[in-house]
């Protein structure tokens, strides 16, 4: 995996403008749509069980986000996920708050049992609870308490157990298929002060997965470009506050180009 391989994907994404079907939470719908549009993808939000199968089969990727759960939404996600599987559309899962309540954990695990998920993105606590490991979680957010080698080891265990690509986000993100992976350092702490940046990240990963079959390559590119946009947005709005950062971040997503990773993001490969 080279910088050229990663950088080429932003060009490919903007040429193809993949349709990303988001079944996401009500808190972040607008931000997610605007972020995907800025990136160069085409967002759609569809939840009704009467249409989700039709929408999922024509999408480039399907993103399932458990932020605001209901029994009806879980059932719609199952229908959409299975339709996506049938038509070869990659499915991404964001298990928001897994571990915060039994219902969230059970719902995420049910999706993983009945839908072939191509990539899972979560924080350390969420990923740990998906594979039955105990890890403290508060609400739908979790502190960055699993660092370095520990976070990487967790990601590898989850990827092997769930047989998929796993992303564990934190101060340094980890992405792995259980055999090899990358540590991606970029972004900015201000991301943690804007609601929905993690949810948008999963949808951004969906856009890259939609245009690249190599999930590890696509996910690494998504993490890198997202981090570069955040860093550039933070630099442009230094001392201006989180509201200004949010707008600048969207601006920088729209300005991404093949040289955006250089000097803004570091990527370290590892092999198990």
Mean pLDDT per 10-residue interval, the chain, length 272 residues: 85 98 96 98 97 98 96 97 98 96 96 98 96 66 58 96 97 96 95 95 98 98 98 95 96 97 94 92
Bridge partners (DSSP) listed for residue 16? none
Do the Cβ atoms of 231 and 186 come closer than 8 Å?
yes
Bridge partners (DSSP) listed for residue 19? 42
Do the Cβ atoms of 6 and 220 come closer than 8 Å?
yes
In this prediction, residue 143 carries a pLDDT of 47
Separation between Cα atoms, residue 108 and residue 102, nearest integer Å? 10
Q: What DSSP string runs through 152-169?
A: HHHHHHHHHHHTSEEEEE
Do the Cβ atoms of 19 and 84 come closer than 8 Å?
no
> Pairing mode, if any, of strands 165-169 and 42-45?
unpaired
HSE-CB of 105 using CA atoms within 13 angstroms: 17
In this prediction, residue 1 carries a pLDDT of 66
HSE-CB of 53 using CA atoms within 13 angstroms: 8
Task: Sheet with 91-94: list strands edge to edge.
Answer: 42-45, 19-23, 61-65, 91-94, 119-123, 165-169, 173-176, 180-185, 266-271
200: nearest Cα among 174, 178, 229 = 229
Separation between Cα atoms, residue 211 and residue 170, nearest integer Å? 25
Q: Which residues contact 148 (CB under 8 A, 6 or more apart)?
A: 172
Separation between Cα atoms, residue 33 and residue 43, nearest integer Å? 6
HSE-CB of 32 using CA atoms within 13 angstroms: 28
Chain mean position to CA 169: 9
Cα–Cα distances (Å) from 190 to 65, 107, 171, in that order, read 22, 30, 12
Q: Does residue 244 sit in helix, strand or coil?
A: helix
In this prediction, residue 265 carries a pLDDT of 95
In this prediction, residue 136 carries a pLDDT of 55
CA angle, residues 63, 68, 74, in degrees to nearest 5: 60
pTM of the predicted protein model: 0.94
Do the Cβ atoms of 18 and 42 come closer than 8 Å?
yes
In this prediction, residue 147 carries a pLDDT of 63
In this prediction, residue 209 carries a pLDDT of 98
Find the helix packing angle between 3-16 and 215-236, rounded to 10°. Answer: 90
């Amino acid at each position: 995996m080279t910088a050229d391989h990663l950088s080429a994907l932003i060009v490919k994404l903007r040429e193809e403008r993949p349709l990303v079907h988001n079944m996401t939470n009500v808190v972040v719908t607008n931000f997610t749509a605007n972020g995907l549009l800025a990136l160069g993808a085409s967002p759609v939000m569809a939840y009704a069980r009467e249409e989700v199968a039709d929408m999922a089969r024509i999408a480039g990727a399907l993103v399932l986000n458990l932020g605001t759960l209901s029994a009806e939404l879980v059932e719609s996600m199952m229908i959409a996920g299975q339709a996506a599987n049938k038509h070869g559309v990659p499915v991404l899962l964001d298990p928001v708050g897994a571990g915060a309540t039994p219902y969230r954990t059970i719902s995420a695990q049910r999706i993983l049992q009945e839908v072939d998920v191509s990539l899972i993105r979560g924080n350390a606590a969420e990923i740990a609870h998906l594979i039955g490991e105990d890890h403290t979680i508060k609400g739908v957010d979790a502190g960055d308490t699993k660092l370095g080698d520990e976070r990487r080891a967790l990601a590898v265990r989850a990827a092997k157990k769930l047989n998929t690509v796993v992303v564990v986000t934190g101060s340094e993100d980890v992405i792995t298929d259980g055999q090899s992976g990358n540590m991606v350092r970029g972004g900015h702490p201000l991301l943690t002060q804007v609601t929905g940046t993690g949810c948008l990240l999963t949808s951004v990963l969906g856009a890259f997965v939609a245009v690249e079959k190599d999930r590890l390559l696509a996910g690494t590119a998504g993490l890198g470009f997202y981090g570069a946009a955040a860093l550039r947005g933070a630099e442009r709005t230094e001392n201006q506050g989180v509201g200004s950062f949010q707008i600048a971040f969207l601006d920088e997503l729209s300005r991404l180009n093949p040289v955006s990773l250089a000097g803004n993001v570091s990527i370290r490969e590892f092999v198990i």
